């Protein structure tokens, strides 16, 4: 019973990803209610939301499964073009744009997942650099196909003005988008903490041992790849509803690398880190675009690269480890508790001697009657069977 209570106990760290997302969402909602939310700010909130979707979904493949994929922008491209095209067609039949948005997200995600299944079947037999090259080639092939199809606007891009979601104003698109983020986080967190998530992590740690334990490695690899592609397609549909025209150049190899940077910068197999990194990089990119315009626009990518290099070095260099420990949330909470605690208080920590599980209770051990002048004599072994056997 004690183990079940501990297992089912409320832990704040299990819900940190929801708290971070709700804080970002609440900021936009408060700004909208007070009339201070600009059109550019609402667009930025939508970009942050689908950036979180892309980073967390790719982290399932790279961080939790341990496979390197560089074609995430390709799945987003499928969702943006096909989901956006379907939304344009549905808008002429269905007047409610909210229903059109939901249907296009579902269909665009399923089409991207189908593409993930077709690519994953042969590609996931490869490992390391070879898998990265195949997924990279897939992303480039996909955007080249859409570039040359006239039905999607060819090189001029696909215009999606008719599907702009305006339920209560254009600024309300971010509300639907952040609801999608919360649904995705719920599915991802429950998957990771389930027995299937433990099987996926086991495959990452040692694939041969996972096979020996009876885990279906091929199934789980393909499942995570398709699951991740689905949410990348959903992010692409949101992109099509937010920005027009949908241009093939937006889904280049550089954007796949940018999503991968969000994952690496936030921490491999860290959902919370992916959310923070996606938010930070989206804000940094937006600030650089706003402030480095005109003649300084050419320096934007240079400054962006320098910021990324500094952040990566700060996160990984052993020299900065003491600084990271001081500014980590766990250390800040510990210092706050230390200030509130009194000198005579005993810290209530798992390392407290009162909580160490032992076979003999401490009271029984201390109350054992020990006689001073009596030597210890071990019990004589019992004879089993005849003939001394």
pLDDT tens string 175-230: 999 999 999 999 999 999 999 999 999 999 999 999 999 999 999 999 999 999 99
The pLDDT tens digits for 276-331 are 999 999 998 888 888 877 777 777 778 878 888 888 788 777 888 888 778 776 77
Whole-angstrom Cα distance, residue 63 to residue 272? 12
Confidence of residue 58 (pLDDT cuts 50, 70, 90): very high
Lowest mean pLDDT among 1-15, 18-32, 92-106, 192-206: 1-15
The DSSP result for 322-389, as a single string, is: HHHHHHSHHHHHHHHHHHHS-TTPPP--TT-GGG---SS-HHHHHT----TT----PPPPPP-SGGG-
Task: Confirm whether 45 is domain-assigned.
Answer: yes
Closest CA to 101 of 30, 175, 158, 39: 175
Average pLDDT in the chain = 83
Residue 346: per-residue pLDDT: 52
Whole-angstrom Cα distance, residue 119 to residue 99? 30
Task: Confirm whether 310 is domain-assigned.
Answer: no
Residue 352: per-residue pLDDT: 47
Lowest mean pLDDT among 6-15, 44-53, 146-155: 6-15
Asked if pLDDT for residue 50 goes beyond 60, the answer is yes
| DSSP three-state, residue 160 | coil
Asked if pLDDT for residue 382 goes beyond 50, the answer is yes
Task: Confirm whether 207 is domain-assigned.
Answer: yes
- Mean pLDDT value of segment 10-26: 84
**What is the CATH classification number for the domain harbouring 203?**
1.10.3470
Confidence of residue 353 (pLDDT cuts 50, 70, 90): very low
Residue 168: per-residue pLDDT: 45
| DSSP three-state, residue 194 | coil
Asked if pLDDT for residue 362 goes beyond 60, the answer is no
Residue 1: per-residue pLDDT: 45
The phi, psi pair for 194, rounded to 5°, reads -85, 180
Residue 40 or residue 341, greater confidence: 40
Task: Confirm whether 155 is domain-assigned.
Answer: yes
Residue 4: per-residue pLDDT: 47
Residue 10: per-residue pLDDT: 59
Whole-angstrom Cα distance, residue 230 to residue 184? 11
The phi, psi pair for 243, rounded to 5°, reads -125, 135
- Mean pLDDT value of segment 100-127: 92
Expressed as residue numbers, the domain containing 94 is 15-291
Task: Confirm whether 263 is domain-assigned.
Answer: yes
Residue 369 or residue 210, greater confidence: 210
> How many structural domains are present in the chain?
1
Task: Confirm whether 235 is domain-assigned.
Answer: yes
Task: Confirm whether 348 is domain-assigned.
Answer: no
Residue 14 or residue 259, greater confidence: 259
Residue 120 or residue 387, greater confidence: 120
Task: Confirm whether 9 is domain-assigned.
Answer: no
């Amino acid at each position: 019973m004690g183990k079940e209570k501990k297992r089912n106990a409320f832990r704040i760290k299990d819900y940190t990803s929801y708290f971070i997302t709700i804080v970002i969402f609440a900021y936009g909602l408060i700004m909208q209610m007070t009339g201070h939310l600009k059109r550019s700010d609402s667009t930025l909130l939508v970009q942050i939301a689908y950036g979180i979707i892309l980073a967390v979904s790719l982290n399932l493949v790279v961080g939790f499964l341990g496979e390197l994929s560089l074609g995430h922008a390709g799945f987003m491209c499928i969702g943006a073009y096909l989901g956006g095209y379907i939304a344009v067609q549905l808008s002429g039949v269905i007047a409610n744009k909210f229903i059109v948005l939901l249907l296009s997200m579902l269909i665009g995600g399923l089409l991207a997942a189908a593409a993930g299944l077709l690519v994953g079947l042969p590609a996931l037999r490869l490992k390391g650099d070879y898998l990265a090259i195949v997924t990279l080639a897939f992303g480039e092939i996909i955007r080249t196909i859409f570039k040359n199809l006239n039905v999607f606007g060819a090189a001029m891009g696909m215009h999606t003005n008719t599907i702009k979601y305006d339920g209560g104003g254009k600024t309300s698109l971010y509300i639907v988008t952040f609801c999608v983020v919360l649904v995705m986080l719920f599915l991802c967190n429950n998957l990771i903490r389930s027995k299937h998530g433990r099987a996926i992590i086991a495959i990452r740690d040692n694939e041969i041992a996972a096979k020996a334990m009876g885990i279906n490695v091929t199934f789980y690899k393909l499942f995570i790849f398709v699951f991740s592609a689905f949410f990348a397609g959903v992010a692409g549909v949101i992109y099509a509803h937010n920005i027009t025209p949908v241009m093939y150049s937006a889904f280049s190899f550089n954007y796949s690398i940018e999503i991968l940077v969000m994952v690496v910068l936030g921490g491999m197999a860290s959902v919370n880190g992916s959310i923070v990194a996606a938010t930070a990089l989206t804000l940094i990119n937006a600030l650089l675009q706003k402030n480095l315009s005109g003649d300084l626009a050419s320096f934007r990518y240079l400054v962006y690269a320098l910021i990324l290099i500094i952040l990566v070095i700060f996160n990984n260099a052993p020299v900065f480890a003491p600084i990271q420990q001081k500014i980590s949330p766990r250390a800040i909470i510990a210092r706050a508790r230390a200030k509130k605690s009194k000198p005579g208080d005993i810290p209530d920590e798992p390392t407290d001697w009162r909580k160490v599980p032992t076979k003999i209770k401490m009271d029984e051990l201390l109350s054992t009657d020990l006689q001073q002048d009596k030597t210890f004599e071990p019990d004589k072994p019992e004879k089993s069977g005849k003939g001394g056997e």
